[in-house]
Amino acid sequence: MKVLVTGSAGFIGYHLVLALLEKGFHVCGIDSINNYYDVSLKKLRLSEIDKFCKFKNITNNYSFNKIDISDSKKLGIFFRNEKPNIVINLAAQAGVRYSIDKPQKYVDSNLIGFVNIIEQCRHSDVDHFIFASSSSVYGMNKQQPFSTLDNTDYPVSLYAATKKSNELIAHSYSHLFDIPITGLRFFTVYGPNGRPDMAYFKFTEAIINNKPIDVYNYGKMKRDFTYIDDIVNSLILLIQKKPEKSSNIITNATSRFNIYNIGNNKPITLKRFIKSIESALDKKAVINNLPMQAGDVPITYANIDDLYNKIGFAPKTSIEKGMIKFIEWYKKTYNTNN
């Protein structure tokens, strides 16, 4: 079975590719290698995948192509050549705050690129299309924990709006063309080889270099931090769990479409989050407390009952244990003994 992972040089994509190869899947990856954050980190991930394949003597099981999913022509040629059975779309322009300054990048990747991918799935007889959505679709919802049955019609950032759009487009394609599709609302994923634009990465760098860290909403915000291994394990299990055809309880529209939350189901305050970094580093942070930023939300909290019932998903990694693993990776990668 051949699995296409888009965004394979990204944080989740990198870990997923390694896990799929370990499980014996044939994997093809694509990524645009854009410069939203340090390109050298993306290249490092790709080199580590190559090293893994050579060490395991499975180089024939993996290939990588530099392709931007907004380029429909190149994407079409790729699909015709590779003929993937499963497509996992993790390619997207990430970042809530960045979407305020660079909206066109989100249109190109998260909207045009997403339609290009799902169109290729439609014409390539793909067995199962899985795509990354986001907890940001819940916006300022007050009801906790967030349930996939909640209304998500009021996103508070363009990034969130594009992810909500992905879900709507995916449902319509599943209804029209009988494509099995699974959408996943990720909740603040963290871990080794993570994204430098994420708070835990920035905080770690600042604390090591004795610089202050900006803490929004005075540290009162809560996040459902989810360790990367828990995310990847759920993705591996979901590959074989294609949605069955069902009718929408409101409209009676039939589709083979499921949407799930993937979170830790245990939101923690930013204060505890920072303490976990301080503890792992054995060093105190200099904190600069600030009010809430535009486009941000006070809390994310995932109801994961549906995913547990589907695949037995139960997160196993606490923020303290997960942060120790991240800090170990960070020190090794950036050659710091602080």
Check 14, 62, 106, 159 and give the catalytic one: 159
What HEC string does the chain produce? CEEEEECCCCHHHHHHHHHHHHCCCEEEEEECCCCCCCHHHHHHHHHHHHHHHHHHCCHHHEEEEECCCCCHHHHHHHHHHHCCCEEEECCCCCCCCHHHHCHHHHHHHHHHHHHHHHHHHHHHCCCEEEEEEEHHHHCCCCCCCECCCCCCCCCCCHHHHHHHHHHHHHHHHHHHHCCCEEEEEECCEECCCCCCCCHHHHHHHHHHCCCEEEEEHHHCCEECCEEHHHHHHHHHHHHCCCCCCEECCCCCCEECEEEEEECCCCCEEHHHHHHHHHHHHCCCCEEEEECCCCCCCCECCECCHHHHHHHCCCCCCCHHHHHHHHHHHHHHHCCCCC
User: Is 159 one of the catalytic residues?
Assistant: yes
Q: Which residues are catalytic?
A: 159
